[in-house]
Chains A and B, each alone.
Chain A
């Protein structure tokens, strides 16, 4: 576990247009902030963050009213970053541009704006460190969450009750995935292994999948459940045959750590992304690279996800954008902006409201942001997490539930509700809390050093040497201007 930045630096990089090398940071986030994100980047967020927090209470109403007087802005194509709040300017621009297009509507003549109203239902506490990923099981009954504390927890999605804690990884768990039958969980960890767990008993299958030379960042089950794709910090994407537990294929994927992998719903394609700014699409059967998607800015891509119908790829990049790619044509179809994503590997999901699709993602300012997939408007922001929201997942099926996990170590369940009254937020304490672990949120997650003293039961691995999920961080070295020219400059105008 020496300096992995070295190997990355060793690869020949084209002189221009290459974002500076990212390097994993071993200390917890806040201590070493100056190392990987420009100070002014942080400063810039702060006012945004606070101002938004201030008027969040009223934000719902405001959002509605803004929708209603949309017509006023119609021909106002100017960015109004100075005068109005950031979110509104972001939201309006695409809409106004759309109305300009003469070819616009053979499609729904009257576009009914998508409206969601999510409220927090449960707070699930128990993880002692940041929650890296939260995933609904395919049958919607369970939620699995994994954390930098090395555990995976299973929760009942309907009641929010803690069902089971899966322990066995020797380091933080960065990623989890459900098998299609909802009976098995795969997890990838910083201890370089991938483990399979039985959901019903909480026991792991005996032999872990070994082969990655570095942290495992992302795992995805094939839709048939016979294969697993994994992406790792060692820059490789592996396809595993889960029956014999051997590595079936190694995809010579990227020249930088692989952030995310995903399977298309019929299992014929795998996509992977890396901090080298590329999204690659692979043929599962042959292991061939079929397409590479790259944005001009070459921003590091930290997560990818196929759309529910498999026609698009959603890519999360560290320039605070989420891009929807038509991978067939190789075009970026939509850019969703309005959240903050500069150093963490944030994750989001596609959701359905009525017949319309929305996109939901976490944000580094503690919000969960919902976008209309069609017109790129931010339709809702909810807050609750104290600190970065690392992962948001939507429940399969009609319930419309979403779950989020954050750096504060909590998992939160949100439901779409028409009623205005708030749901009595039920706080469910995990037995771990009863067992006397420190649960102070501030300590547990936001200030990373709060957990410096906690040592994992296994003894061998102190967490001082371990890396929690603030790991897809960027060693920007003050050059973030170069990296995110678009979003930043737009804001400053």
Chain B
């Protein structure tokens, strides 16, 4: 509801410009915002998933269940459930209402990526390392896993050559996700094919060779109409998804833009869409830069100021010009955003900011002196507008769906008995003292003497 008051130029700013801080709580290696953008899930290399409150930049909760590096994260539409996959060959669906494991599913291989069904939080698709991809239905207590083929769909009447057959045998799905409707799975293979699989029948209804290398990563926009493909041939491709429910023969997927760095020929660690899909951002391999392209014309608009390390996962906030990326070496989550300018006219209501000199014209009655009561009376008489203090316009936001509110645990810091280590030098570790629980907080945001206050707080509590 702050939009009406916000600086229009600040709203018009689409992409972030400067680093505004960082989050740190363990070595993060996977990131994902929830749909509303108020929480950021960060998977760590020790298997813990930390959920940050984006507003306060503090830890909302920690989920402990995995024992190896987190591979991917996927939020349910309502924001209550989180699917995590890790290198311990497991996927866990968490219920964030009470931070419990709703389902744990074990696989026969390491998981590349797992994505939740857009409507059903107990259904997901996983792509496995050197194994068949699976559609997992955990609605009932017994988990049903159905594998689907990675082999591209070819015309039935064309004979498959020996070479092709050999290639097919080695084909594996490297990433898979649901289309926005949830009726189709979009899967990318290590041979550069893009397969579209109907969920109901698990038949591949359409395939196309989209790139020459391995499809590393796929991501849809919030609307589900556009897709970005990261491939090992160092080119990021964006496409518009066709209507998948139409006759399979009429489906075509055309590459809209090929985004690449022609000069440096860098390859891309991770890609993400901006909130509206107008921009694409990517982190670079062996490089510290984060690129932002404008998708309309496919031009590079910005390279974010580099930080000290190479970044792995990069994510764009679902409705703010804010990019987060986690560093590969330290696991620190860097944040790029916009630093808003205080408009001084907001502080002094009698003043307005004008572009150029304005000649002052006095109104006829401007300095007339009226008796106080008359002014008061006139003022009160003017107050005949209809006011509506009750009904809110934003009703359509909810759409009648259940709104999930994550419970706030005010006692988290008190009950936290977890040992955490901080590096104090090369190869040196030190146990973090409980008084330093604020380490992960955003340093740059702390105003003025807050630090001092905080220390005093600590001392006082100790005395007690």
Contact surface of A with B, Cβ cutoff 8 Å: 79, 93-94, 97-98, 100-101, 104, 107, 179-181, 184, 196, 205-207, 210-211, 222, 224-227, 241-250, 264-269, 280-281, 283-286, 288-294, 307-312, 324, 326-328, 330, 332-335, 350, 352, 355, 357, 373-374, 376, 485-487, 489-490, 493
Contact = CB atoms under 8 A, between A and B. Distances in A.
B389 A312 contact: yes
Nearest to A355: B390
Contact of B389 (A206, A284, A350): A350
A227 B56 contact: yes
Contacts of B394: 266
Contact of B380 (A93, A267, A312, A493): A93
B413 A245 contact: yes
Contact of B349 (A79, A293, A335): A293
B376 A210 contact: no
Nearest to B460: A210
Given A97-B384, A281-B5, A334-B383, A196 B389 contact: no
B389 A309 contact: yes
A249 B389 contact: no
Interface stretch (B69-77, B191-199, B221-229, B401-409): B401-409
A70 B438 CA distance: 64
Contact of B58 (A107, A244, A333): A244
Interface of B: 1-2, 4-6, 38, 53, 55-60, 340, 342-343, 346-350, 372-373, 375-377, 379-381, 383-394, 405-414, 437-438, 441, 445, 447-448, 450, 453-454, 456-457, 460-461
B383 A243 contact: no
Contacts of B456: 210
A490 B375 CA distance: 11
A250 B55 contact: no
A205 B410 contact: yes
6 contacts: A184-B410, A248-B445, A269-B5, A308-B389, A309-B388, A312-B387
A169 to B, nearest CB: 15
Given A224-B408, A283-B5, A328-B5, A490 B377 contact: yes
Contact of B383 (A309, A333, A493): A333
For the residues of B in contact with A, the DSSP-based class is: loop
A246 B389 contact: no
Contact of A289 (B58, B59, B347): B347
B349 A374 contact: no
A288 B53 contact: no
A97 B450 contact: no
Nearest to B342: A288
A241 B58 contact: yes
Contacts of A210: 453, 456-457, 460
A370 to B, nearest CB: 14
Contacts of B410: 184, 196, 205, 242-243, 245
Nearest to A270: B2
A93 B438 CA distance: 57
Nearest to A352: B390
B405 A180 contact: yes
A292 B384 contact: no
Contact of A290 (B5, B385, B386): B5
Chain A CB within 10 A, most for which of B6, B38, B59, B408: B408
A249 B445 contact: yes
A309 B392 contact: yes
A206 B461 contact: yes
Contacts of B377: 79, 93, 490
Given A243-B59, A243-B413, A245-B413, A268 B2 contact: yes
B383 to A, nearest CB: 5
Contact of B390 (A211, A286, A308, A332): A308
